[in-house]
């Protein structure tokens, strides 16, 4: 587990959000906002060697499928005026 510090960071972030999620309900902060912000901040601190060694061709496929699903499920609700 120590070879993959990103997993430790993700677990700590989930624990941190779980502890403060009840208080966050009263604000406009949502879980996706917290996790995207944490990912952006973490990406600035990753070394170039770690970024270079990442080989995940499936990431593009997952991103494209997520975009298709979100467009087909959420967009009709937004345009219907509900």
User: What's the number of domains the chain is made of?
Assistant: 1
Q: Determine the pLDDT at residue 72.
A: 79
pLDDT at 11: 84
pTM beyond 0.95: no
Tens digit of pLDDT per residue, the chain (82 long)?
A: 455 667 777 788 889 888 888 888 888 888 888 888 888 887 777 766 556 656 667 777 887 888 888 777 777 776 776 5
CA atoms within 13 A on the CB side of 78: 6
Structural domain that includes position 53 = 5-79
How far apart CA 68 and CA 82 sit, in angstroms, is 21
H helix intervals, 1-82: 5-24, 31-45, 48-53, 58-79
């Amino acid at each position: 587990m120590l070879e993959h510090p990103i997993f430790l960071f993700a677990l700590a972030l989930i624990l941190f959000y779980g502890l403060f999620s009840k208080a966050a309900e009263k604000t406009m902060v949502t879980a996706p906002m917290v996790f995207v912000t944490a990912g952006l901040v973490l990406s600035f601190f990753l070394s170039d060697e770690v970024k270079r060694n990442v080989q995940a061709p499936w990431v593009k496929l997952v991103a494209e499928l997520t975009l298709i699903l979100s467009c087909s499920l959420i967009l009709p609700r937004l345009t219907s005026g509900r």
